[in-house]
């Protein structure tokens, strides 16, 4: 069976459409599910601060305890250099407690565009931090199996296991809820405006306000201990942070999240070390941020469905129909030719 010119054209177009469907499904779609090169996401949080007033450590306040002080925070995640399957991602966190000056931290990670996990910094990239695990989002089609993920805690510079906590709906999107608990020495107290030592005179002034935070026996013994202490009393800070991530079930993108951070200061008093619960910082995404993020992810999911499902199927179906049409035309033309040969009559 020979193809006529018209059937040959249809067959070629049909085959090209089938090939295009395969390219879209197996080349374009995997690329579209990676972290985008123009990544730029901002989340907003609100919450409360409870604990020792940070200003008293520098003599800037007399009120020792601060209760339910409002917190406003933002996190921006943006992409930098892209190198094949990895890209440099910068995460900027800004947190304001009450009327205090904002505490701002900025760190860059080398992130795998497919798994969303951070890794070693590229050679020569001094401004990129070595890290492990997830740093801001989960990959597309996230897993709910235990032990699959770890989450990087910037306060203690370590990764901690992620646990799956259930399902919920936020911002119009179905999400998986995850938690991670990290505890250890605070790596950079200065980033939270925390000193590494406390003047002896400041400790003496603080002592009456520590009632309920440290044992009464220690408070009673403190006046006798103070004369033997150095002028500057070292403080070692520890952080215990529970991180919450509510990730889109389809794309893995963070719709909402937050954290509860408990900071403890350990004062070296020579004869003993005193652990003082310093602060509990509790924040979570604002309602407006959740709605805005839900809308953004819904648009991304719709586009991915169009490119990843609708377009390949449409191209495949149309391509196969054209190939079938070409074969039918060729068969019909072959039938006419055979009939003409039998009768000896040929049409032009």
Per the domain annotation, does 299 fall within a domain? no
Residues 68 and 149 in one domain: yes
Q: Taking residues 44-71, what's their average pLDDT?
A: 84
* Residue with token string 């003082």: 276
In this structure, what token pair is assigned to residue 293? 């993020």
Per the domain annotation, does 293 fall within a domain? no
Task: Give the per-residue pLDDT at 293.
Answer: 95
Helix (H, G, I), strand (E, B) or coil at 193: coil
Q: Taking residues 57-78, what's their average pLDDT?
A: 84
Residues 218 and 166 in one domain: yes
pLDDT single digits (tens) 101-117: 888 889 999 999 999 99
Per the domain annotation, does 294 fall within a domain? no
Confidence of residue 82 (pLDDT cuts 50, 70, 90): confident
Name the more confident of 337 and 111: 111
Q: How much of the chain, in percent, has pLDDT values that exceed 70? A: 82
Confidence of residue 81 (pLDDT cuts 50, 70, 90): confident
Residues 166 and 208 in one domain: yes
E-state strands within 188-288? 197-199, 232-248, 254-268, 273-285
Q: Taking residues 221-237, what's their average pLDDT?
A: 82
Name the more confident of 346 and 13: 13
Residues 128 and 252 in one domain: yes
pLDDT single digits (tens) 291-317: 999 999 998 877 776 666 676 777 778
pLDDT single digits (tens) 244-286: 999 999 999 999 999 999 999 988 887 778 888 889 999 999 9
Confidence of residue 123 (pLDDT cuts 50, 70, 90): confident
Residues 13 and 63 in one domain: no
Per the domain annotation, does 296 fall within a domain? no
Residues 94 and 238 in one domain: yes
Residues 10 and 56 in one domain: no
Task: Give the per-residue pLDDT at 348.
Answer: 47
Residues 216 and 325 in one domain: no
Per the domain annotation, does 298 fall within a domain? no
In this structure, what token pair is assigned to residue 237? 């800070």
Q: In the predicted model, is pLDDT for residue 57 greater than 90?
A: no
Residues 231 and 319 in one domain: no
pLDDT single digits (tens) 182-224: 999 999 888 887 888 888 887 777 777 676 667 676 677 777 7
- Residue range of the domain that includes 18: 5-26+305-343
Domains held by the chain: number: 2
E-state strands within 98-149? 103-112, 117-119, 128-129, 133-134
Bridging pattern class, strands 103-112 and 128-129? parallel
Residues 166 and 234 in one domain: yes
Q: Taking residues 48-72, what's their average pLDDT?
A: 82
Residues 58 and 196 in one domain: yes
Task: Give the per-residue pLDDT at 284.
Answer: 97
Confidence of residue 53 (pLDDT cuts 50, 70, 90): confident
Per the domain annotation, does 348 fall within a domain? no
For 63, residues 6+ apart whose C-beta sits below 8 A from its C-beta are 53, 56, 209
- pTM here is 0.78
pLDDT single digits (tens) 130-188: 999 999 999 999 999 999 999 999 999 999 999 999 999 999 999 999 999 999 999 98
Would residue 70 be called left, alpha or beta, if left means φ above 0 and alpha means ψ between -120 and 50 degrees? beta
Distance CA 17, CA 303 (A): 20
Q: How much of the chain, in percent, has pLDDT values that exceed 90? A: 45
Per the domain annotation, does 115 fall within a domain? yes
Residues 37 and 21 in one domain: no
Name the more confident of 235 and 213: 235
Per the domain annotation, does 55 fall within a domain? yes
């Amino acid at each position: 069976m020979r193809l006529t010119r018209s059937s040959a054209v249809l067959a070629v177009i049909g085959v090209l459409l089938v090939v295009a469907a395969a390219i879209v499904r197996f080349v374009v779609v995997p690329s579209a599910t990676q972290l985008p090169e123009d990544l730029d996401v901002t989340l907003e949080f609100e919450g409360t601060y409870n604990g020792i007033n940070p200003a008293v450590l520098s003599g800037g306040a007399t009120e020792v305890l601060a209760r339910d002080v409002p917190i406003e925070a933002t996190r921006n995640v943006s992409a930098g250099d892209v190198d094949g399957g990895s890209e440099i991602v910068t995460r900027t966190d800004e947190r304001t407690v009450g009327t205090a000056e904002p505490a701002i931290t900025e760190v860059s990670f080398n992130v795998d565009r497919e798994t969303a996990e951070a890794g070693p910094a590229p050679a020569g990239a001094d401004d990129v931090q070595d890290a492990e695990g997830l740093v801001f989002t989960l990959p597309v089609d996230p897993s709910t199996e235990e032990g699959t993920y770890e989450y990087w805690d910037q306060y203690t510079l370590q990764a901690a296991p992620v646990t799956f906590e259930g399902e919920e709906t936020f911002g119009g999107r179905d999400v998986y809820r995850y938690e991670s608990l990290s505890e250890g020495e605070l790596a950079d107290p200065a980033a939270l405006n925390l000193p590494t030592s406390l003047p002896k005179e400041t400790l003496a002034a603080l002592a009456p306000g520590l009632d309920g935070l440290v044992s009464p026996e220690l408070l009673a013994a403190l006046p006798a201990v103070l004369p033997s202490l150095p002028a500057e009393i070292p403080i070692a800070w520890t952080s215990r942070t529970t991180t919450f991530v509510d990730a889109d079930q389809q794309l893995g993108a963070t719709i909402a999240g937050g954290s509860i951070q408990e900071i403890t200061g350990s004062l070296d008093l020579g004869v003993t070390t005193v652990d003082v619960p310093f602060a509990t910082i509790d924040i979570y995404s604002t309602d407006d941020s959740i709605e805005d993020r839900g809308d953004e992810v819904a648009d991304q999911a719709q586009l991915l469905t169009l490119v990843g499902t609708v377009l390949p199927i449409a191209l495949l179906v149309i391509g196969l129909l054209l190939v079938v049409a070409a074969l039918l035309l060729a068969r019909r033309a072959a039938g006419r030719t055979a009939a003409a040969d039998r009768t000896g009559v040929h049409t032009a």
